[in-house]
Structure formats: C-alpha cells, structure tokens
Amino acid sequence: MWLVTLKPISGTSCSGACWRPNTANPLMNSWLYLTAHCVTEGPETDVDTACVSIWHDPAAIENLSLNEAAVRLKDREVNLILPMELCSWLLTEPWPNKRRPSTQALAFAVEDQLAEDLEQLHIAVGHMDAQRRYPLMMIHKERFKGLLELLDQRGLNIVSVQVDADLLPPEAACKAQWDGRWIVGGALEARLALSGPALDLVAARLPNPLTEGVIDWSVPHTHAINLLQGEFARRAQGLPWRRFSAALLLMFAFALGFTHLRSNVLEDKAAQIYAQSEARFKTLYPEQTRIVDLSAQLKVLQQQGAPAGNGHMLRLLQLTEQVLGASSVDVQRMEWRATIGWVLNINASSFAQLEQLRERGVQSGLPVTVGNASQQGGRVQALVTVRDES
C-alpha cells in the first residue's frame, strides 16, 4: 500500500491532467480531486502550492492550488476524490452467512493479505456482489485522519470520499487515462493506478481486453465505496430550524414531565385521602365489611337513615338539626375522636350566642359542652364537644 501525503512535485504542471468527462445533463455537484501528481511519500504538506482539480460542471475543470480551491468551494458540499495511490482494494471470499458481517469480521477475513497491522488501517466496505463477496477499500488511518483535518481547517465541507479507480463503470472491466497515468477497475477484480508500460503488462495477462471507461458525472456513483464510514462517518449538521425544533421538543418534554409528575403527586394524595375516608367509613359502619363504591354506599346508608356504629352519625345529625341549625354560628372544622366524640371548631358572634347554643344542647338531650372560647376581632371562637356516652 502507498502511504502518501499532499506535496507538489517540482516540474509538474497542474494543467497536465487528462480527463474525459461525460457532460450529458451534469449535476451541479462540487468535486475536489487530489491528483496523483500532488501526492508523494514524505511527511510534508504544502497547502499553498499543492495542485488539485475542482469542478461543478465536468466540462469546466479548474486546476489550481488547494488554498485557491478552498476559496472556490466555500459554503458548498464537496465530493472528494482520492488517487488510487493512496489506497488499497481487496475482494473477500464468498461470505457464508446471509446476515451482513461487521467491518471487523471482514477485516479479519483478509488479514493475511495485508502488509500492515489492522489497527493502522481504516477499512471501508462496499456492496456485496452476486457471488456474495464484499469489496474493501483501505487507507492508512492516521494519514486519512490528517487529510480530513487539513481540509476541514481550510473550511471545506467534505460530504463523501471516493477513489478515482473505483469510480469507473461497474458493467465491464475498463481503464481510463487520468492525470498522466492509467486507472483500472470496473468489473475487473482489482483497482489499480498504472503507468503505460505497467498497464501493458497487466492487460497481457487478462483473458479479455480492457474497454475505455468513461465516468458519467450526471448520476450518483453508488457503486463506488465511500470512505466516510465507521469513525469517519459524516455527522449530520443540524439547520437552525432543526435546532429550533429540538428546543421546542425539549420544552414539550419538560412540560410533559412536569404534568406527569404533578399528576402522580395528585394521584398519590387522592389515594391517601381515599384510604383515610375508607378507614373512617369502617369506623362508622363496622357492619359494612365489603367496600365496592365508598361514595355510593355512604349515600345509600344516609338515605336509608341507617344507624351509624355506636350512634355517632345519629348524634351528629341531632346536633346539626336541633342545636346548630337554630343558630347563626359558622362551623370551621368537624372531627370525630374515638376517646371523646364529635369536636367542632365554631365561630359565633358573641359569648351570649355560645351560651344559647349550650342551652339548646341541654334541651335536646345531647351532652354538649362549650369550651376554649376566645375573642378574635369581632368574632368568638370556641370548641363544641358532643361526648360519646355509649
């Protein structure tokens, strides 16, 4: 495998690249081609003079430096094309399982054919062919990472990365002259970049001659492997309206969560109140051993005049009708206490009214006592107790 970086080669002209684009109905995509003349072994990268090719219309290809290309391609989605010299291509043996294997499994399957450690390679997987074989495109991981970072620093929005020899039409084994050398691929079980003499040697060993391949730029090249896979997969860039929608969704989620929490709190409170009511009902009506509908059962018992347990409800009814009903006092709270009886917090207009209330209790035969009376502004507060004498 060739492991290379961008570097201008002295004496090489950018205009020397040979292209044969098909210009029928071209899509206005933006393409950036790192030509083979721009790569060489070595650590340096001179982005000021490195020669590349760009085009939106394949009939109008421009050869210029990478920095100039970055200016021309600003705010565009760019399809990057790498020379085959940067990569290696392999085809696996027919895969036995119908389920698509992982990249790691495919890498292990071809490990004995690789000259480098798997950990140092980035492997991208193509579509399975008719013989259930998978094509693999490999590039040095750190070199590829550095290249993408370099382009990102220049403001280039790279949306796909493909290799020139892999773009040839897949219908037949074919060749094409690009940038002063030959690329070979298509239906051939290889992807190569060759000089003229090397191509003659390869072609002499093939059972059928290679056809001249022409790349149709007006259609998506879905057959070519996109190197932006795995850890290099392109992350979707959210548009402002998407961020706004996400914010609205987040606010809705918070509101829904708050409503759900409040509903749970209210349900718990209602359950506690119902449990207290049920316990009070069982105290008043011990003969009601089965509670199906607490409200309905209580209403029926009240309508039937059913005697409450130990006469509690009967005394409360007498107190309400015969004592409280004949006065203008306000009942603030009413509570049954098992050791005492009914205890009521009331407000009266005067101490005299309290005395009248006690006298009506005696006349009604109820054990009524009035105590803890105190003046609060223009009203008198007191406790009225109806003792349980049963």
248 domain-assigned: no
pLDDT recorded at residue 390: 58
pLDDT recorded at residue 184: 95
Residues 341 and 225 in one domain: no
288 domain-assigned: no
- Torsion angle in degrees (nearest 10) through CA of 302, 305, 310, 313: 50
pLDDT recorded at residue 80: 94
173 domain-assigned: no
Start-end of H helices in the chain: 66-72, 103-109, 141-153, 196-204, 240-284, 294-303, 312-318, 351-363
Distance of alpha carbon 261 from alpha carbon 36, whole angstroms: 64
Phi and psi torsions of 372, nearest 5°: 55, 40
371 domain-assigned: yes
Residues 220 and 348 in one domain: no
CATH of the domain at 369: 3.30.1360
Residues 150 and 45 in one domain: yes
Is residue 164 a contact partner of residue 178, using CB atoms and an 8 Å limit? yes
Distances in whole angstroms, Cα of residue 340 to Cα of each of 189, 242, 358: 100, 68, 17
pLDDT recorded at residue 250: 85
Distance of alpha carbon 373 from alpha carbon 347, whole angstroms: 9
CATH of the domain at 157: 3.30.420.380
Q: Within the chain, which residues score under 70 in pLDDT?
A: 1-28, 39-48, 236-243, 287-294, 296-312, 326, 388-390
208 domain-assigned: no
Q: Give the total number of structural domains in the chain.
A: 2
State the DSSP H helix or E strand holding residue 90, giving kind and residue range, or none if neither.
strand 88-91
Residue range(s) defining the domain that contains residue 373: 325-386
Residues 150 and 34 in one domain: yes
